[in-house]
Structures are given as structure tokens and as C-alpha cells.
Amino acid sequence: MRVSGQKLWWFMVIASGVVFIISGFIMWFLKEIAPAALLQWIVLVHDLTFITTGAMLFVHIYPSVIHPLLNNTLSSPFPPRQRFSHTTCRDVI
């Protein structure tokens, strides 16, 4: 089974979103109840998730917009209105 970069990015966004929600909830609402050691681990996980997702965002943007061999967005033969409308969900999945 081949996994494309788009599917990996989607999985990373979903997984990191769940981690952000859970860790953010604990840091925001349970900071007075939770033990200090747990909060330190939660902050570490929250920060590492942010750093990893932020780095992957730039890795995701680079091939799609900046890389000269893969840059079909800016040098597309389609008019600007049709550059993104010719791709359907069926093509991505």
C-alpha cells in the first residue's frame, strides 16, 4: 500500500489536533488539580506536537509552492480561477 504525502499530512493534522485538544484541556482546566509532574509532561507533549506540526507544515508547503521541479501551482497552464477547481476529492483519495 502506497501512502501519499497528502494522506500523511492529513493524518498528522488529525492526530496533532487531538493531542492539542487533550493537552490544552488539561493545561487550561485541570492545572490546579493535576500533579505538577503530569503538567510538566503535558506541556512537553504540547510543545513537541506544535514544533513537529509546524515543521511539517513548512515541509508540506515547500514542494507544493516553492520547489521548482514540483511547482505546478504558479506555472499552471490553467487560468487562475481554474488552478484549484480542476482537482476533485476523487483525485486526491
Write the pLDDT tens digit of every residue in 21-60. 999 999 999 999 999 999 999 999 999 999 999 998 888 7
Least confident of 17-21, 43-47, 85-89: 85-89
Write out the residue range of the structural domain in which residue 50 sits.
5-92
Long-range contacts of 46-53 (CB under 8 A, 24+ apart): 46/19, 46/20, 49/16, 49/19, 49/20, 49/23, 50/16, 50/20, 52/12, 52/16, 53/12, 53/13, 53/16
Helix/strand number for the chain, H first, E second: 3, 0
Q: Report the predicted TM-score, pTM, of the whole model to 2 decimal places.
A: 0.64
The per-residue pLDDT for range 62-74, each reduced to its tens digit, is 766 766 565 555 5
What confidence category does residue 82 fall into, taking pLDDT thresholds of 50, 70 and 90?
A: low
Domain count, the chain: 1
What crossing angle do the helices spanning 36-61 and 5-29 adopt, rounded to 10°? Answer: 150
